[in-house]
Amino acid sequence: MKLAVVGAAVLWGTAGTAGLLVTGVDPVSLAAARLVIGGLVLAVAAGAAIRALPRRGLLVAAAVGVAAYQLCYFAAVSRTGVAIGTVVAIGSGPVFTGLLSWLVDRVPPTRRWAGATAAAVAGCAVLTGGGGEARADGILLALLGGLIYACYAVAAARVIGAGASSDAVMGAMFGGAALVMLPVLIHTGAGWLADPRGLLAALYLGCVTTALAYFLYGRGLRTTPVATAATLALAEPAVATLLGVAVLGEHLTPLSAAGLLLIGGSLAVVALPGRGGVAVAPPEGTVEAVVRSPQ
């Protein structure tokens, strides 16, 4: 099921290109619309199964975390630039996830995972070029976003590992996040949704890069350790870069190409059969379970 996680990362990587269908829209408003639409789709698809979920308090907290991650990310990039903010937020996610899994399950990450994750994060840093101003407040917000991501990812994975439906878990988390982000969408203005291009972009971002992507991601969590999934999700910036070259005519520098190769090689190492992530002790009352990992 690692392929499902990679598939989710590929879909996430198309979000930036799709967002270019609309211009002059507040990025926070666009992100809010994406989460509101995607969350409602996931909640409706899960249906009555949501009511049967265990650990509802944990999932409510995770839903707030999904919304909080978006706000932290955009606050970070507004202060320190897209490149640095993205690298810190996305790159710190797998690290925090591995550490949190270690803390929760008391099983350390494998050396293979640690080495491959470090290389993949370095590849992301090279790929983005590091442009921007390294302001402390922006970096702290990005790190907070990465920590929040790890918390809601591990929470979701533990509920799934305890035997809950991954579709219902994602529906509960993102349906709840949609309710949190709806006032944000209203506050930032939703008039741009009346434009056909804006509506098309919002529907694609919500239905494909959120609902379908997290449907796949949840399915992957059934058998993929949380730390491994978090690292595999680093395919997202690589896909975004390749789409920029293929669709938008952007230029790929030798340094960016090296970053892509570093990410690709690292993800291949993580995806190999065996203990590529964090070994997981099964929760009490289950035969076996796994724990795993934005943007």
pLDDT digits over 171-203, tens only? Answer: 999 999 999 999 999 999 999 999 999 999 999
Angle at 89 between CA 139 and CA 81, to 5 degrees: 55
Q: How many CB atoms lie within 10 A of CB 239?
A: 21
What integer is the mean pLDDT of 6-30?
Answer: 92
Q: Is the pTM of this model over 0.95?
A: no
What integer is the mean pLDDT of 216-232?
Answer: 94
Whole-angstrom Cα distance, residue 259 to residue 249? 19
Whole-angstrom Cα distance, residue 271 to residue 89? 22
Lowest-confidence pick of 12-16, 46-50, 270-274: 270-274
CB 289 within 8 A of CB 156: no
